[in-house]
Amino acid sequence: MNIIFAGTPEFAATPLLALLEHHTVSAVYTQPDRKAGRGKRMTAPPVKQVALEHGIPVHQPTTLKTEVDTISALAPDVMVVVAYGMLLPQSILDIPKFGCINIHASLLPKWRGAAPIQRAIEAGDTMTGVSIMQMERGLDTGPVYTTLETPISDRDTSASLHDRLAQLGAAGIVDTLAMLATDPSLQPTPQDHSQSSYARKIEKSEAEIDWQSSAAEIDRKLRAFTPWPGSQTQHGSNRIRITEMRVAQTNSTAQPGTVIALSTDCVTVACGSGAVELLTLQRDGSRALPYREFRNGYSLSIGDRLS
């Protein structure tokens, strides 16, 4: 097939590489280069880097409304859209022979929106996946060609789940386009809109640990917000980032946020219900360390309060 690809982050680069093994990608649309990293250097999106490595023309417009003639001239069979970061107007959706097909990182209609991976972990879902969906004007409301599932373990983070879902999305879009090539009359299945839920965008402020929450909730949020925005707490005037924890097998009546036990390998902290064991910690300006090393340069005592 003659494909136009629209995507931006690493999650989109994986399916682009898979499509290049089977199809012609005549153009790539991606977000403009942006400043990134501590040095704030202008950095190309991962999808742009893949496209340039394969000699594919790259377009980085700030709006697609001016791209109708350019895309029409390419006469695409389909436009594959993955985490592009820009809404597609109807004038673009109508151009390709098979329309625009999206890879969404949830089992639609659950977790429509910007942060489906993080919200699935935060909510305690035990199963997620990807949906290969025909795009329409509504946000993630289009009918679905296929879904591929994967379980969420109690140690999964957004980073680990992201990588598995990217691979599933790549396999799903390749299979879907093969089915369409074989049977152009193939029709996707409409979503049950009454079962939809919304995955709102992650905010930086969500990194603050609320010790009034249960141990299970705090653990899920840490895993959902890894690698960004992370999880952090205050100990006096010091900010401490927590990069690994587990739910403790203990009950406590101490005030939430109280250090109730110290061992060689972890700090046990009371929560609104239950307790968690902090395994890897990081101070500002330092790297994350296992507690057995962290404690050599920083002192926590039983009865201290984290807030």
Whole-angstrom distance, CA of residue 264 vs CA of residue 277: 12
Q: With the CA atoms of 196, 202, 208 and 210 taken in that order, what torsion angle do they form, in degrees rounded to the nearest 10?
A: 0
Whole-angstrom distance, CA of residue 236 vs CA of residue 80: 50
Whole-angstrom distance, CA of residue 270 vs CA of residue 233: 13
Contact 212/270 with Cβ under 8 angstroms? no
Contact 61/48 with Cβ under 8 angstroms? no
Closest CA to 198 of 260, 81, 111: 111
Whole-angstrom distance, CA of residue 48 vs CA of residue 33: 9
Q: Is 107 annotated as a binding residue?
A: yes
Whole-angstrom distance, CA of residue 83 vs CA of residue 104: 8
User: Structure tokens of 75?
Assistant: 């006469």
The full length of the chain comes to 307
- Looking up tokens 């496209």, which residue turns up? 51
Closest CA to 252 of 234, 225, 235, 270: 270
Q: Is 91 annotated as a binding residue?
A: no
Q: Is 109 annotated as a binding residue?
A: yes
Whole-angstrom distance, CA of residue 305 vs CA of residue 303: 6
Q: Is 108 annotated as a binding residue?
A: yes
- Pairing assessment for the beta strands 112-113 and 198-199 based on DSSP bridges: parallel
The distance from CA 171 to its chain's CA centroid, rounded to whole angstroms, is 18
- Looking up tokens 């680069």, which residue turns up? 13
Whole-angstrom distance, CA of residue 51 vs CA of residue 171: 19
Binding-site sequence positions: 106-109
Binding-site sequence positions for (6S)-5,6,7,8-tetrahydrofolate: 106-109
